[in-house]
């Protein structure tokens, strides 16, 4: 039986891993598929490097367009990354009638609507399990496993770099800069870590999941981003004392007002399973009407975990080709005719609880004045504690609030910072209980 020919574009970390999975587990794959997955051609700028990892009969080129144009290739695997040349290659492959597997969340978050429309018009399929949460099969869960459910919200630890840094800050009391340096030394963070630590990577992933969950077009422009570089280790320590863990979460919710789409540091009660996800591991927490809450945990990055997801997509696509499936699972879970725009909720209009920390001068009536500000802006205080005796006339006050509209808390902060008794700025971190 003729094999299914694959063209792999990019032989970086994930590309090498994909080649390793396809070669090492070839017999196991054939038992499940009934056909061989043949690495027919690979594109890599460094041909000598590619020769070291590819089977001897693989055609190697330094021009990825050779792959998308080759008539014998059935499935194109895009592992180049970015959203410039990758977009051109994917669209050309689709126009040439080739199916596509990609691990590129940035590409899909920015151009997914265009790519999926082109795929539908050309009657080909784009699969992207590896684009979100590495080896965790969350795309399949959302598109297939939870197809009978109405999903209310998704919250994910979906960037391993940030999660490693926050774990170091918690466990060792390190400042952000030192924890980042260790992440870079271990290869968990890039030389320029902005994409990870400022929330862009998590934002791309939660944007894709929101589209799958709620039947909306992919729209990264509405995703609120706030990273972890401004966090101090003492805030993480204070949160621990109060029974919370701090995680960078991607959150999307469907509310009566519209869709929430946001990435930011979040206090989570320590008894929630997702709060115990540490190091570079990822987890996605989903709440749906029939199943209730479910948690999906595993390696969110790395050569072999991500390659595992890429290969799973290759197997799924190959089964569809072998069985001549006419109506595969829609790209965004919903039929394209049912994907509709919905309003997005501004970050100022979300409802959350809040952690506030402020430095306060030792002045008579300060706490009374602070309390009046909260009452004025309709914010209820759950906990107010003084973290230390006044030293040099200044102490730190920690406040946890009950649920309120974010605009209210920002008004509270603005008025507090105008007081002479408040030294510097007020630190604010959002809180999520995940009770509902």
Catalytic residue among 105, 127, 205, 247: 205
φ, ψ at 292 (rounded to 5°):
85, -145
Q: What is the number of helices (H) and of strands (E) in the chain?
A: 15, 17
What is d(CA 2, CA 321) in angstroms, rounded to the nearest whole number?
12
Point out which residues pair with 180 in neighbouring strands: none
What is d(CA 362, CA 369) in angstroms, rounded to the nearest whole number?
13
Clarify whether 127 is annotated catalytic: no
| H helix or E strand, kind and range, residue 258 | strand 258-269
Nearest-CA neighbor of 429 among 397, 408, 401? 401
State the alpha helices, DSSP H only, in 135-199: 138-140, 160-172, 176-185, 194-197
Q: What is the separation of C-alpha 299 from the centre of its chain, rounded to a whole number of angstroms? A: 13
Q: Which residues contact 176 (CB under 8 A, 6 or more apart)?
A: 165, 169, 228, 229, 231, 232, 233
What is d(CA 331, CA 168) in angstroms, rounded to the nearest whole number?
38
Tokens of 183: 């992440």
**Helices 366-376 and 406-417, axial angle in degrees (round to 10):** 150
Nearest-CA neighbor of 222 among 252, 248, 257? 252
Active-site residue set: 205
């Amino acid at each position: 039986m003729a094999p299914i020919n694959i063209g792999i574009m990019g032989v970086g970390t994930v590309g090498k891993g994909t080649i390793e999975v396809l070669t090492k587990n070839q017999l196991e794959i054939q038992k499940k598929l009934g056909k061989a997955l043949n690495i027919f051609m690979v594109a890599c700028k460094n041909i000598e490097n590619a020769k070291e990892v590819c089977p001897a009969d693989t055609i190697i080129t330094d021009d990825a367009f050779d792959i998308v144009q080759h008539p014998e290739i059935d499935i194109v695997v895009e592992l180049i990354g970015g959203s410039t040349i990758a977009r051109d290659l994917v669209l050309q492959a689709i126009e040439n009638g080739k199916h596509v597997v990609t691990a590129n969340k940035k590409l899909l978050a920015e151009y997914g609507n265009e790519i999926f429309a082109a795929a539908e018009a050309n009657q080909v399929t784009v699969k992207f399990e590896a684009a979100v949460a590495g080896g965790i099969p969350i795309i399949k869960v959302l598109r297939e496993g939870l197809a009978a459910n109405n999903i209310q919200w998704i919250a994910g630890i979906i960037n391993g770099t940030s999660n490693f840094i926050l774990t170091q800050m918690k466990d060792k009391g390190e400042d952000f800069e030192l924890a980042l340096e260790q992440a870079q030394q271990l290869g968990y963070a890039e030389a320029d870590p902005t994409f990870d630590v400022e929330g862009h990577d998590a934002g791309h992933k939660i944007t894709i999941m929101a589209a799958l969950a709620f039947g909306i077009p992919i729209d990264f422009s509405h995703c609120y981003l706030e990273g972890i570089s401004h966090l101090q280790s003492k805030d993480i320590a204070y949160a621990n004392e109060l029974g919370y863990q701090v995680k960078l979460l991607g959150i999307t919710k469907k509310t009566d007002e519209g869709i929430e789409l946001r990435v930011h540091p979040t206090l989570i009660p320590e008894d929630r399973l997702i709060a115990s996800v540490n190091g570079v591991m990822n987890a996605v927490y989903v709440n749906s009407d029939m199943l209730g809450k479910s948690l999906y945990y595993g390696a969110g990055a790395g050569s072999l975990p991500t390659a595992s997801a890429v290969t799973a997509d290759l197997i799924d696509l190959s089964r569809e080709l072998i069985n001549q499936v006419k109506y595969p699972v829609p790209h965004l879970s919903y039929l394209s005719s049912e994907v509709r725009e919905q309003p997005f909720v501004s970050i100022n209009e979300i409802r959350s609880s809040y952690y506030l920390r402020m430095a306060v001068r030792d002045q008579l009536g300060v706490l009374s004045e602070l309390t009046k500000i909260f009452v004025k802006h309709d914010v209820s205080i759950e906990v107010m504690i003084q973290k230390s005796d006044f030293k040099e006339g200044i102490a730190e006050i920690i406040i946890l609030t009950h649920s309120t509209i974010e605009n209210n808390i920002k008004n509270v902060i603005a008025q507090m910072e105008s007081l002479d008794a408040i030294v510097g700025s007020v630190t604010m971190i959002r809180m999520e209980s995940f009770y509902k």
